[in-house]
Amino acid sequence: MKLGTLLYYHEPLYNFHHVYGILIWESENMYGLSIKKFKGDYLCVQKNKCKIVKNFKEAFKQRFVLLSNFKHWWFKEHKNIWQYILIETLNQKQNDLSRAIAV
């Protein structure tokens, strides 16, 4: 899975209800997610407890809500992921604009 992907995690037993996170690392059966509650720091979760947010508008909104709450160190540490998110967003917006003009 691509780093920077937005994932949804729900684990009521550990008081992490309805958590969105940005994928930072991946192992065989775990993900590392940067989450709002930890200001960008990581939550380690089992892969089978996560879902990919596929709706672009929802992913766009949630990723920028998350990013706006991360500490400054996150952007230096994860420069490539931050750039990927920006480029992906710009490309999608350009595609939306192109479709609107074609109609």
- As a whole number of Å, the end-to-end CA separation of the chain is 33
| Alpha helices per DSSP H over 1-103 | 56-67, 72-77, 79-102
Which pLDDT does position 59 carry in this prediction? 87
Which pLDDT does position 10 carry in this prediction? 85
C-alpha to C-alpha distance for 23 and 12, rounded to whole angstroms: 20
Which pLDDT does position 79 carry in this prediction? 96
User: Sorting pLDDT into bands at 50, 70 and 90, what band is 3?
Assistant: very high
Residue count of the chain, please give it: 103
Please name the residue that has the structure tokens 């940005």: 22
Rounding to the nearest 10 degrees, give the CA dihedral for residues 60, 61, 62, 68.
110
For the chain, domain boundaries: 6-102
Burial of 11 per CB tally in 10 Å (0-12, 13-18, 19+): middle
Indicate the average pLDDT of the chain. 88
In single-letter form, the type of residue at position 35 comes to I
Query: Do 1 and 23 meet the contact criterion of CB atoms below 8 Å apart?
Result: yes
Highest-pLDDT range among 26-35, 57-66, 94-103: 26-35
pTM higher than 0.85? no
